[in-house]
Structures are given as structure tokens and as C-alpha cells.
Amino acid sequence: MHRTVGVSVDAMIEDLRTLVEVESPSRDLNALAASARAVAAVIESRLGGRAALVGSSGGPHVHWSAGGDPKVLVLGHHDTVFPLGTLGRRPFTVRGGQATGPGVFDMLGGLVQAVHGLATLDDRSGVEILVTADEEVGSHSSRALIEERAIACGAVLVVEGAADGGALKTGRKGCGTFTVSVTGRASHAGLEPAAGVNALVEASHQVLDIAALGRPAVGTTVTPTVASAGTLDNVVPAEATVVVDVRVGSADEKERVEAAFAALAPHLDGAEIAVRGCVSRPPMPESASAELFAMAKRLLPGLEGKAVGGGSDGNFTAALGVPTLDGLGAVGGGAHADHEYLVIEAMAERANLVAGLVHAIRHG
């Protein structure tokens, strides 16, 4: 029996099992509806009250409020990157001090820890929980709600998984995806190749131009990740597409990179280029987390903070100027991978850290 004052690790593990065993791939609205109901049931059973399901094009979001003057928003998501059927191949398992299964680290473990941590507080007035359904695919249907509740509450605790070594995430890069579509002209590759406009050759020029936009020294990475072109081996390709992952560390770099994509021009006569996309998650500067991280270190001396490359919904709240601290969820690793895991020994400490931060914010 794993226990600490006010928190039962065994109970957390059982709630985690419940959530993991309701698969929740992004964009699968039926699966997300079932997942939202499961999340709401866990919240209600541990905290009382009613967790509202907020319908959206991305699936149901779950919103719970303890009532009173809003003071702190606990923010997470219940969608995962794993397709239906992953659970059959990789079931929820507890072994060797770790829990494994789809979504344990990113980020169902963090949700469970936060709920159980809040349950230890005698007074939860002013606390809200928002668990969204589309974080893994851009938060398009949830962003407005996230921003509304963050502004209303004035402080945000994001229960995404911790950084390496259990560090909190004190800063995040802005991130986005761009798609560059090239239109050329088809012709017979053997009989009259010069009559065509080779979209693959044009795309190759574009890949080199795009890759040169990165500035790693200031935290900007511009990485072509997926490309496609052509139809048959004897046809000059008329179309090509390049998908690009972009990460930026500052608002100035966001503007520079977006302007550079808009200015891309063809190298071959007759080729045309169309660009879609933007840096959809603004950077989360470390200044946004400074006050809350100082609180966390007082509660848990020796705690470390790291700025990381990945984005979360905390990017949106920090960009509004709302104090935001991220990485308060599970300690573990392997996000989005088959070896995803959660460290059981850290669950109680992290649950209590969330509770301590909520108490400090409400009474600070």
C-alpha cells in the first residue's frame, strides 16, 4: 500500500487505469466523448460538484469549478496521439515502479495527480479545472475557452508531464506547421522533359531555402519533415508538397519566420508556390513562470526548471500575460512513443505540489 499524508497512490493508480483504458485519439469524436465522460466522473468522484462537458468541433472539453472568485486554473487535455487499438497491444501495466500504457505520461497521469492533490484541500473555492479535447492537434476548438478561463482566474498550472529529471517547464518555444505546395506542369519524362515544369526540382530548391531560415543560436529551428511529389516514374511531376516544423523562442522570430515563408518565391520559370500555416502557439517566455516557479521551489526545495522546445496550451495563457507554470504533471518520459511511462514513486509528491501551489496562490 503506497500512501502519503492525504494522498493514496493506490487510488491514483486505479483512476489512472480507468482513464487510460478509455482510448482517446485526437479527432475521434466518439472516443473523445467517452473519454470526457470518464474524466468528468473521476473529477466528480474525488472533488464533488459537477464537471460540465463543453461540446466543440474538436470533441468535448471538461470544465469543473469549485465556485467562488476564480483564482487558479488547472489546465490539461484528455486527447492522446495513439490510434484506437493501441491499448490492446500496450495495455495499462504497473511493474517495476512504473505505470505504462497509452497516455500515462502525456498526460493522463498529470490529470489524476492534480485531482487527487486538490482533494486534500479543505477549501477549494476559486479553483477551476479545464481538460481539453484537442491539444495534440493544435487546440483550435479550445483556445478561446482556455484564454477566457485563464484571464478570469489570473494564474495557470499546466499539468503536462515534467521535463527530464522531473524538472518543471518554465519556458516553451512557440511552434507551428507550414505546408508549401508547389505546382508545376506534367510532361513525358522521356519524350519531352523540357516541356514540363518539374515540381519536385522546385520543391528541392524550396527545401534548401526553408532550412536556411533556422537560427539555432536564438532558439529558432525550421525543419522540413514530410515531402511528397510525383505520380509515375516516367512523368515530370506537376505537384509537390513540403511540410515544415517551426519552433521559435521569441515573438520577433515568429514574425521573421512567418514573413520569410510568405516571401518564398519559385526558382523555375512556370512554377507556382502556395504557403499555408503559421506559428500557431506563441512562445512562453520564462518570465511568465518566474513568480509561480519561485513558489514551487519554496514548496519543494531543489526543484529545477527548464525551458523546452515543445508547445502546450500554456503557450496561449502565457502570451496573454497570465502567470503560467508548466510541467506539473507526471514524472516519466516517452511522450508519444511506445515506451511511454510514469514513475509511480513521484506521484504523491507531484499531487501535493499542485495542492501546495493552489493553496499558495489563493492565500498569497
Helices and strands (H and E) in the chain: how many: 10, 18
How confident is the model over 132-141, as pLDDT tens digits? 999 999 999 9
How confident is the model over 246-263, as pLDDT tens digits? 999 999 999 999 999 999
How confident is the model over 3-57, as pLDDT tens digits? 345 899 999 999 999 999 999 999 999 999 999 999 999 999 999 999 999 999 9
- The predicted pLDDT at position 310 comes to 86
Work out the angle at residue 252's Cα, subtended by the Cα atoms of residues 248 and 256, and round it to the nearest 5 degrees.
Answer: 80
Closest CA to 231 of 185, 272, 265, 194: 185
Work out the angle at residue 106's Cα, subtended by the Cα atoms of residues 105 and 108, and round it to the nearest 5 degrees.
Answer: 75
- The predicted pLDDT at position 4 comes to 42
How confident is the model over 148-170, as pLDDT tens digits? 999 999 999 999 999 999 999 99
Report the percent of the chain where pLDDT is more than 70. 99
Residue 146 φ then ψ, to 5°: -60, -50
* Rounded distance between C-alpha atoms, residue 330 and residue 295, angstroms: 19
What pTM was computed for the model? 0.91
- The predicted pLDDT at position 1 comes to 27
How confident is the model over 209-247, as pLDDT tens digits? 999 999 999 999 999 999 999 999 999 999 999 999 999
Residue 296 confidence (pLDDT) above 80: yes
- The predicted pLDDT at position 6 comes to 81
Residue 300 φ then ψ, to 5°: -140, 80
* Rounded distance between C-alpha atoms, residue 73 and residue 168, angstroms: 17
> What's the mean pLDDT in 264-275?
98
Angle between helices 29-47 and 109-119 (to 10 degrees): 20
DSSP alpha helix (H) spans, the chain: 9-20, 29-47, 86-89, 109-119, 143-153, 199-211, 251-262, 290-299, 314-319, 347-363
> What's the mean pLDDT in 320-339?
97
Is there a contact between 198 and 268 (Cβ–Cβ < 8 Å)? yes
**Per-residue pLDDT band at 181 (split at 50, 70, 90):** very high
Is there a contact between 163 and 308 (Cβ–Cβ < 8 Å)? yes
- The predicted pLDDT at position 2 comes to 34
Q: Give the chain's radius of gyration (CA, Å).
A: 23
DSSP alpha helix (H) spans, 166-284: 199-211, 251-262
Residue 63 φ then ψ, to 5°: -125, 125
Mean of pLDDT over the chain? 96
* Rounded distance between C-alpha atoms, residue 327 and residue 137, angstroms: 19
